[in-house]
Structure 1
């Protein structure tokens, strides 16, 4: 089995880990509701993508459940 011949120093380890960064996600503005959204994703606030409704929001699902329960 492969094992390291020598121990890597703390500075070598630190140099390697220097590139482990968190990046701020790129955000765009939804043209329908003007909220921030991820590019190439449907808006979580209104459910639109390319000005076309493609999914229901949590509010809409809850309203449907309430209406269904009352009937």
Structure 2
């Protein structure tokens, strides 16, 4: 997702997306351990999205 779109969202929405991405990350790890994961680029994408959202949440809380 684009950073511009994320900035427009509220902290509640960002927390919801963060939870969703954490679940996806967990599922990817389970697939990897079961030997089903062949597209390893998804790990990097999810990790980067989580970092983006956490950064925005920190910025929003510091702005208050």
Check whether TM > 0.5.
no
The two structures have a TM-score, normalised by structure 1, of 0.28
Higher relative contact order (Cα pairs below 8 Å, separated by 6+ residues): 2
Compute the TM-score of the two structures, normalised by the length of structure 2.
0.31
Which is greater in Rg? 1
Bigger strand fraction: 1
